[in-house]
């Protein structure tokens, strides 16, 4: 197979993968605390050192061989909700929550209370207080200060845990706007982020930018498809012409 065909095919695959990432970002544009994904590719020459997945030729064929999906941790826009259980973080850090798989971390602060008054996420995971204990809210007047201290009807109910990790972050997505450390042994550290009660952090997805990238990716895919068709036509003509000689 011609090396140009390899390049066009790998370009099409790259466009398909990028379209998946963009589509997922757009699908979560209204998800509080969602962090968009970005995608980068590394072009490598496939040869003896980097064996391609396609049949090996005698020459090195250029193939897009390595992709890297990474998370953009930029903060989303905050908006006033007026709900005393909604919280946004001003600064770097995460809320710690307890899931069946262990502790996870999130910036999605649209919390609520369970039947027994436990402060939980929209998925029902308890929000951790300092020390890992759950926060129970049993009362009507809820006040939360910048450091996470919770007062219910004038009585202290605990302190919400806000933690951070060394940068660059080495986290992976797990569920709805949740993150877990790539290294299970990673130890979170105290965060200096301030809690803003009655505020909610939205997604950091820019709809206009994502739509522009989607159009660019679609045009790129179309261009690669045309190149593949042209190479196929050239091969067909060559075979037919040689057969007539």
Backbone angles phi, psi at 188, to 5 degrees: -70, 155
Mark whether 67 and 109 lie in a shared domain.
no
Asked whether the predicted pLDDT for residue 59 surpasses 50, the reply is no
Mark whether 9 and 115 lie in a shared domain.
no
Mark whether 169 and 215 lie in a shared domain.
no
Specify the pLDDT at position 220: 84
Q: What is the DSSP string of 115-165?
A: TTSBEE-TTSPBBBBTTSPBPB--SS-EEE-TT-EEEETTEEEEEB-EEE-
The mean pLDDT value for 161-182 works out to 94
Backbone angles phi, psi at 5, to 5 degrees: -65, -40
Mark whether 194 and 148 lie in a shared domain.
yes
Specify the pLDDT at position 160: 96
Mark whether 182 and 239 lie in a shared domain.
no
Of 171, 186, 201, the residue that ends a domain is 201
Mark whether 180 and 218 lie in a shared domain.
no
Mark whether 39 and 151 lie in a shared domain.
no
- Least confident residue range of 19-28, 41-50, 101-110: 41-50
- Least confident residue range of 16-20, 155-159, 190-194, 230-234: 230-234
Backbone angles phi, psi at 68, to 5 degrees: -135, 110
Mark whether 101 and 154 lie in a shared domain.
yes
Q: How many domains would you assign to the chain?
A: 2
Specify the pLDDT at position 145: 95
Specify the pLDDT at position 208: 95
Asked whether the predicted pLDDT for residue 15 surpasses 70, the reply is yes
Asked whether the predicted pLDDT for residue 237 surpasses 90, the reply is no
Mark whether 102 and 184 lie in a shared domain.
yes
For 129-150, what is each residue's pLDDT tens digit?
Answer: 998 899 999 988 999 999 999 9
Specify the pLDDT at position 101: 93
Mark whether 113 and 191 lie in a shared domain.
yes
pLDDT band at 229 (very low <50, low <70, confident <90, very high): confident
pLDDT band at 239 (very low <50, low <70, confident <90, very high): low
The mean pLDDT value for 156-175 works out to 94
Gap between the Cα atoms of 209 and 234, Å rounded: 38
Are the beta carbons of 189 and 181 closer than 8 angstroms?
A: no
The mean pLDDT value for 211-229 works out to 87
Mark whether 90 and 177 lie in a shared domain.
yes
The mean pLDDT value for 55-80 works out to 73
> Domain limits at 213?
3-74+205-244
Nearest to 127 by CA among 87, 73, 155, 154: 87
Q: What is the mean pLDDT of the chain?
A: 86
Are the beta carbons of 32 and 108 closer than 8 angstroms?
A: yes
The mean pLDDT value for 78-97 works out to 95
Mark whether 108 and 193 lie in a shared domain.
yes
């Amino acid at each position: 197979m011609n090396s140009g065909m390899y390049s066009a095919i790998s370009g099409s695959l790259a466009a398909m993968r990028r379209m998946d990432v963009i589509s997922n970002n757009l699908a979560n544009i209204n998800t509080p605390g969602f962090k968009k994904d970005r995608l980068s590719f590394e072009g490598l020459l496939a040869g003896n050192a980097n064996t391609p997945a396609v049949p090996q030729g005698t020459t090195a064929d250029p193939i897009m061989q390595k992709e890297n999906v990474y998370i953009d941790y930029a903060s989303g826009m905050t908006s006033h909700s007026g709900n005393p259980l909604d919280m946004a973080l001003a600064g770097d850090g995460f809320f710690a929550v307890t899931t069946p798989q262990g502790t996870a971390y999130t910036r999605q602060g649209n919390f609520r209370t369970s039947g027994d008054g436990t402060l939980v996420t929209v998925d029902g995971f308890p929000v951790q207080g300092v020390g890992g204990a759950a926060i129970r809210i049993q009362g009507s007047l809820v006040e939360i200060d910048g450091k996470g201290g919770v007062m219910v009807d004038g009585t202290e109910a605990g302190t919400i845990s806000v933690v951070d990790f060394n940068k660059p972050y080495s986290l992976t997505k797990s569920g709805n706007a949740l993150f877990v450390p790539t290294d299970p042994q990673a130890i979170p550290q105290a965060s200096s982020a301030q809690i803003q009660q009655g505020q909610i952090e939205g997604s950091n997805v820019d709809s206009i930018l994502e739509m522009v990238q989607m159009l660019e990716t679609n045009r790129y895919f179309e261009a690669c498809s045309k190149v593949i068709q042209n190479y196929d036509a050239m091969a067909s003509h060559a075979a037919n012409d040689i057969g007539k000689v």
